[in-house]
Every structure is written in structure tokens, then in C-alpha cells.
Amino acid sequence: EDKVVQSPLSLVVHEGDTVTLNCSYEVTNFRSLLWYKQEKKAPTFLFMLTSSGIEKKSGRLSSILDKKELFSILNITATQTGDSAIYLCAVLNYGGSQGNLIFGKGTKLSVKP
């Protein structure tokens, strides 16, 4: 059965800390891995990763994919209270033309002032 596992499930840090969120997957027809930030209801797109070893970076956030070991990490440096959210990892299951996203349960990040 296809699955995506995120760890930790929750994390509490203080402003200025650096955090690493983990995502491992077992998906039969892997096409790409996506990270989303969910603050209220709508997941907001962060990164899409398709190739191993190529870091994607946006401000204080960065992510990398390892297709051999089947995992990805999302790093956030110098965390701010506005980073508090649920971070979702999803793998695009490619069957036919386009596929559906298989999500992990998310990591709930709380950044305290």
C-alpha cells in the first residue's frame, strides 16, 4: 500500500531555532514530492521536488529529495512565530496522465516567541 510518513508529528521550538522536518515514502509510481504549509484550511504550496540531491530554496526554507533512500527533508532556519503551521508532505502518484497526491499526516510546528 502506498504511504507517506512524516516525523515528528509535532514540534515546539523558540524563535530563532532551526528545524528539520522529515518525510519518507513508499509509492509505487513516484513522480514528484511536494511540500505544503497549512495554517487554517488551505494548504499553501511551498516546493516541488523531482530530482535527487537538488536543493530547492525560498528565503529561510529549503528542501531536498533523496530518491534512493525515499525521503525528503524540509529545513526552516531562524524560525519566526509566523512559521507556526502544519507542514504537509505529499507524493504525486503518477498513473496514466496525471495522478493524485498521497499525503502524510503532517508535522505541527509551534514557534514560541
Partner 1 sequence: GAGVSQTPSNKVTEKGKYVELRCDPISGHTALYWYRQSLGQGPEFLIYFQGTGAADDSGLPNDRFFAVRPEGSVSTLKIQRTERGDSAVYLCASSYGLAGPQGDTQYFGPGTRLTVL
104 binds partner 1 per the rule CB under 8 A: yes
Residue with Cβ nearer partner 1 (68 or 97): 97
Give the residues across from 22 on adjacent strands: 7, 73
Residue 17 CB, nearest approach to partner 1 (Å) = 24
Cα(35)–Cα(45) distance, rounded to whole angstroms?
6
105 binds partner 1 per the rule CB under 8 A: yes
- 59-78 binders of partner 1 (CB under 8 A): none
Site string for partner 1, 16-55 (x = CB under 8 A): ---------------xx-x-x---xxxxxx--x-x-----
3-state SS class at 79: coil
Contact 112, 81 (CB under 8 A): yes
For residue 100 the three cell numbers come to 493524485
Cα(4)–Cα(111) distance, rounded to whole angstroms?
24
Cα(94)–Cα(86) distance, rounded to whole angstroms?
25
Residues touching partner 1, count (CB under 8 A): 28
- The residues that touch partner 1, with contacts defined as CB under 8 A, are 4, 31-32, 34, 36, 40-45, 48, 50, 88, 90, 92, 95-106
